[in-house]
Amino acid sequence: MLADPVSGTVAVLLTNRVHPHRDRFTVDRARHEIARIAFR
């Protein structure tokens, strides 16, 4: 969850990265891209 109180923007990324294996998938790239798009 990211929030910018100045602009009132809130971004939430919900994932199920632990299914079926915790170490197989990463959401770091998606997290950075969501933040970049939401908080330009």
Q: How do residues 1-40 score in pLDDT, each as one tens digit?
A: 889 899 898 888 887 766 666 677 777 888 888 888 888 7
Q: Which two tokens stand for residue 39?
A: 């908080």
Q: How many domains does the structure of the chain reveal?
A: 1
**What is the model's pLDDT at position 35?**
84
**Domain span at 32:** 2-38
Q: How far apart are CA 29 and CA 17, in angstroms?
A: 13
Where b means 16+ CB within 10 Å and e means fewer, 17-39 reads: eeeeeeeeeeeeeeeeeeeeebe
SS3 18: coil
**What is the model's pLDDT at position 20?**
66
pTM: 0.51
SS3 10: strand
**What is the model's pLDDT at position 30?**
82
37: which residues sit within 8 A by CB, 6+ positions away? none
**What is the model's pLDDT at position 6?**
92
